[in-house]
Chains A and B, each alone.
Chain A
Amino acid sequence: MRLSEHTYRTISTIAGPLLFVKKVFSARIGEVVSVVSPEGVRMDAEVLEIEGDTALIEVFGETRGLDIGRTSVTFTDSVRKVPLSEDIVGRIFNGSFRPVDGMPMFIPEKWIPITGRPMNPSARARPEEFIETGYSVIDGLNTLIKGQKLPVFSCAGLPSKELISGVLKNSRLPGKGGRFLVVFAALGLAFHEYSYYMKVLEDMKTGFVAFVNSADDPVMERLLAPRFALTVAEFLAFEKGMDVLVIITDMTNYCDALREISTAREELPGRRGYPGYMYSDLASLYERAGRVKGMEGSVTMLPVVTMPEDDITHPIPDLTGYITEGQIVMSRELQRMGIFPPVDVLPSLSRLMQKGIGKGRTREDHRKISNNLYKCYARGRDMRRLEAIVGRDGMTEKDRKMLDFADSFEKEFVGQGEGRRTIAGTLDTGIGLIRRFFPEMT
């Protein structure tokens, strides 16, 4: 047993972010370590591996300026923990959990390990209540359900940031008096994104907790920030009874950070250089979404993945899709046609939607409307292919109608613009479209 902090000056090797420290007494795996350079610069680090009395530790941040003789290493005997309190609501932090909104740190009510504990599958309650995002294409056809994890698959250059800020501002739980809150984690933001999101958050004033990691912040923080966010979300959900929506953008930056750190640790690379455990690692984040039987709150997750080279089979969207319950897929074609939000309905899917819509949840006719819209739009898209071959004139009256429907559906239903639509507005727009083109279906 050891009781307090131990400090050593026994570094034997420094390689990139990794330090080997010798003659360490009883180190713990995952233990938080602080490293102080000869100039007095303090850095956070963590124990990665232990072999006898040698500990391998990883420094978060630049190891420039460290040396072997004078750098001191302090072992804290504790794994990484998150300070928690209800006062966290409305605050903005960086990836090391330091406030960046100009206000002092809150006084923590308790500290909880950052990794969280896996939810017992028998304690999970089935997700079945709907969250309104204000976007017709999500609420109407790919409904987000409380406790679900539903990623947005975007491509470089598409307005995912506008889509996300819309969700940040507009999402709510309709009808119920419960407390709803957004926890926002932004990873590896470029300055123009950073200033955009900060503006959105400032306008919101409260109803959120934000963690913001900029593109030039330490890479390791990109792995920590989502875990801070989720630990905060679990605390607010399951101890304070709030319904929490966690938005993480961009998971591609997260995975690249994971790859970078894995390579520095000299681990065996898997597909495209990403580590073999990336599935388990992503699952340790995504699976923290859920509801618990007999408890009030919930954690819902909306991560954003920018698909490298627009490739949905790239390991990041691929592994994400295997863990999450559906996906919202953004499309370049729709963007080119000036439609916002440019969400392609056909490859998009919300697996939990069926349980959360209909009478008593959204509206009785929701299922029928969404099925009809999907069916007609899918036919319309098929017709576009036919049109390319035989030309519009070579098509039957019925086929042309399908074609026109698809155009109007994209412009009016999907392309709602910046504004917010209630679920009733969404469904009425849908009915209106079907009535106009296919009166026989209603």
Chain B
Amino acid sequence: MTGKILGISGPTVSTDLRGLKLYERVYVGHSLLTGEVVRLEHDKAVIQVYEDTRGLAVGEPVKSVGLPLSVKLGPGLLSGMFDGLQRPLRKLREEMGPFITGGKEIYGLDFQKKWRFSPVVKSGDETAPGDILGTVADGAFTHYIICGPDGRGRVSRITEGEFSLDEPLGLYEDGRMMLGCHEWPVRSPRPYRKKFPATEPLVTGQRSIDFLFPIAKGGTAIFPGGFGTGKTILEQSVAKFADVDVVVYVGCGERGNEMAEMIEEFEGLKDPWTDRRLMERTILVVNTSNMPVAAREASIYTAVTMAEYYRDMGYHVLFLADSLSRWAEALREISASLEEMPGEEGYPTYLASRLSGFLERAGVVETVGGRRASLTMILSVSPPGGDFTEPVTQACLRTTGAFLMLDTSLAHRRHFPAINWFQSYSLYSAELGGYYSEKISPEWEKLQGRCTEVLQKEETLREVAEIVGAEGLQDSDRLLMLIAEKIRTEFLSQNAYTEDAFAAPEGTLALISRIFGFYDRMLKKMIGGVSLEDALKAEDKT
């Protein structure tokens, strides 16, 4: 079906095309720009265009596709790099050079490539959507071929061997083909059987997170912080070291140079858990700040759908987005061009509900195929002026499980990761502290409590010390300040560019035990009447 453009305003276009459905994908103009239907009125439809609309004229054609905005899911996504509409950026570059032009439909999957398929179902078996049909090897990664949404039926024939994604793997008894890939609309969460509470930790390799503010597999966390507080470095460190099978990283409205750097780095690095190339477990979705705004809004949905696809194979998946604020701003921009009534700071009033709907796509689940898997979300937030009372941070606080506040003053002191230990919290702390105490050492929770206490007391003492000078404090208080400094500089700080960038939980515990071991020895000596200076000297000798 084809209609005409009636009006254009920024990224939105109105058309006289009839019979459209809400959120259906359409092609706009002679250059076939991709758009999505966002509003239907009695005589016109309003379309949000995902590409630059400059030069588009009234009267140009609008074509309907009949499908909502979807992604293609199948083997070959890992180590890929896509834009917000799942167009592969490397292939885009081969076809149009280093600068992106609009209106080019390139699929996210490679339909030429041959895959070796080994079936797990046999003829006569009944299959249902979400079932696993067989496996292919995607590098060293086992990719399970999942039955698509229309895959209900009895298998009549299924064969082992080489196939490409447009060839059938087998047939159903009613003559339908079984394919190695399927499409899924990005705005509909993929179904699961059951959701469980998140009880296992996601090991991030960052001591301050794992020890003080742990994040659960299947949980949600945000990293809010002003500019220069190291959000991106922290997100990337977690992407490198987290103990998950698949990482989906969305560069949402951020810097292009950063992404170039990240790709280069990930190509050369190894996954600390499996020793494979890091890129082999990573999918990048990139919509830098100068790429079209509407596609930025779609990019987190494109990415999370791919993440859910891997979750449905039974894998632990980590979804990282940098930064959620840029997504919210894109939402605001689109809302403004639709002339909707604005809420706080111009954001649409549905910001909070959209956001919580999105965050609920995380979780520990039993998949439709009956496997236990998880999808964890870690999102950075860029509050304007470093002010955490702004709407995006506040909307996140209602649904997320961990709040890791990045502090500008810590960053100025070059304390990284600049996680503020007073303001941050994790709702998973008690549960996961118990887990670590059971799995690693019963000391874990005890030391965690002592660590928080020392840091808290230091804060009070520091105020006193500023008035009377450090020499005016009692020996025991000076010792406490010394220990707190050790905790801050040796334990909580971690240089992302050295060997220390990754810390296993065992190492984390060993390090904090060492610090408290030292503390206890000193305390013992001082109770015996030795002064702090003498006790320190004696310690130096041993």
Contact = CB atoms under 8 A, between A and B. Distances in A.
A277 B256 CA distance: 19
Given A121-B286, A352-B257, A28 B57 contact: yes
Contact of A120 (B98, B253, B333): B98
A279 B345 contact: no
Interface stretch (B113-121, B192-200, B289-297, B523-531): B289-297
B336 A267 contact: yes
B228 A321 contact: yes
B426 interface: no
A346 B414 CA distance: 10
Given A283-B289, A287-B255, A318-B384, A276 B329 contact: yes
A293 B99 CA distance: 12
Contacts of B8: 29, 49-50
B58 interface: yes
B255 A270 contact: no
Nearest to A295: B98
B261 A126 contact: yes
A254 to B, nearest CB: 16
Contacts, number: 187
Interface stretch (B47-55, B162-170, B371-379): B47-55
A121 B469 contact: no
Contacts of B90: 122
Nearest to B98: A123
B454 interface: no
A49 to B, nearest CB: 5
Contact of A122 (B7, B53, B93): B93
B255 A325 contact: yes
A121 B260 contact: yes
Which of A28, A79, A354 has the most CB atoms of chain B within a 10 A radius of its CB? A28
Given A125-B260, A276-B346, A30 B333 contact: no
Contacts of A269: 346
Nearest to B60: A26
Interface in A280-317: 280, 283-284, 286-290, 292-293, 295, 313-315
Interface residues of B, number: 67
Contacts of B258: 325
B257 A279 contact: no
Interface string B19-52: 0000000000000000000000000000000001
B332 interface: yes
Given A26-B59, A122-B89, A268 B384 contact: no
A121 B336 contact: no
B466 interface: yes
B412 A389 contact: no
Interface stretch (A95-103, A110-118, A193-201, A335-343): A110-118
Interface string B80-114: 01000000011011001111110000000000000
B257 A322 contact: no
Contacts of B288: 118-119, 121, 283, 287
B99 A118 contact: yes
Contact of A313 (B56, B257, B330, B386): B386
Interface string B252-291: 0101111111011000000000000000000000101111
A394 B257 contact: no
A42 interface: no
B345 A271 contact: yes
B290 A121 contact: no
A349 interface: yes
B206 interface: no
Nearest to B6: A52
A292 B98 contact: yes
A141 interface: no
A115 B342 contact: no
Contacts of B255: 287, 323, 325
A148 interface: yes
22 contacts: A51-B7, A79-B55, A119-B98, A119-B99, A120-B89, A121-B256, A121-B260, A123-B98, A147-B257, A267-B336, A268-B336, A268-B342, A271-B384, A276-B332, A277-B293, A277-B336, A280-B333, A318-B385, A321-B227, A322-B382, A327-B228, A347-B412
Closest 9 CB pairs of A and B: A283-B289, A313-B385, A287-B290, A123-B98, A124-B260, A321-B227, A30-B54, A117-B99, A51-B7
Interface of A: 2, 25-31, 49-53, 79, 113, 115-127, 147-148, 238, 267-271, 276-277, 279-280, 283-284, 286-290, 292-293, 295, 313-315, 318-319, 321-323, 325-327, 346-347, 349, 352, 354-355, 374, 378, 389-390, 394
Given A52-B6, A127-B257, 10 more contacts: A25-B59, A29-B8, A52-B7, A119-B98, A268-B336, A271-B345, A271-B384, A279-B329, A280-B330, A313-B386
